[in-house]
Amino acid sequence: RKEVEQDPGPFNVPEGATVAFNCTYSNSASQSFFWYRQDCRKEPKLLMSVYSSGNEDGRFTAQLNRASQYISLLIRDSKLSDSATYLCVVIPTNQAGTALIFGKGTTLSVSS
Amino acid sequence: EAEVAQSPRYKITEKSQAVAFWCDPISGHATLYWYRQILGQGPELLVQFQDESVVDDSQLPKDRFSAERLKGVDSTLKIQPAELGDSAMYLCASSSPGLVGGYTFGSGTRLTVV
């Protein structure tokens, strides 16, 4: 079983749609969680951290359910510029410098 | 904004040849990572350095891959001999000392083995 599993995608949605991505992780001791965004042929960039209390950044909302080992990302009012691959990322310990563990990524394509 | 520098951006090499990638992390970042990202997959850790020491190289194919960070600053990843399956994006990242999650990635080196 992969440590981090994501919806396979791709997701093809029209502008203005709401889309949700899901992710599960296998290591119950995992401490930190993130969503990264990766544009085609570019490096991954941090989109947002994910907390148990949930967090929102504009049109983006991230949620963590530790009991179910489940992470989600909701994008409201999708824009053409949201088209990218979204990577679910986990850090398995609370030690600074621990390497990131990435999911396979989910591709989003927003069309006009 | 401080960046992680990588070179070259693109590399095409014939199989069985040697190839090397270079990374210069953000100044002061003691931890450096090399990841490999095959098309359609997420990045996977190859090797992690803390200063000049290897912390984790469990996923590095040591029969053909080597990595070094001799002075604890910049780093080189080498493949010899390259195989067709090595075609991928090689990403370098560094992280802030004492900060969980403070990672910065370089632009990557896209390797094509023909």
pLDDT beyond 80 at A13? yes
**Bond preceding residue B97 cis, omega within 30 of 0:** no
Report d(CA A39, CA B110) in Å as an integer. Answer: 14
Q: Say whether B105 and A43 touch across the interface (CB within 8 A).
A: yes
Average pLDDT in chain A: 93
Q: Of how many residues is chain B composed? A: 114
CB of B36 closer than 8 Å to CB of B88: yes
pLDDT tens by residue, B10-24: 999 999 999 999 999
B27: distance to nearest CA of chain A, Å? 15
- Cα torsion B23, B26, B27, B30 to 10°: value is -80
Residues of chain A with Cβ-Cβ distance to B23 below 8 Å are none
Residues of chain B with Cβ-Cβ distance to A90 below 8 Å are none
Token pair in block for residue A11:
């997701």
CB of B13 closer than 8 Å to CB of B79: no
Q: What confidence score (pLDDT) does residue B107 get?
A: 97
Q: Residue A111 CA to chain centroid, in angstroms?
A: 20
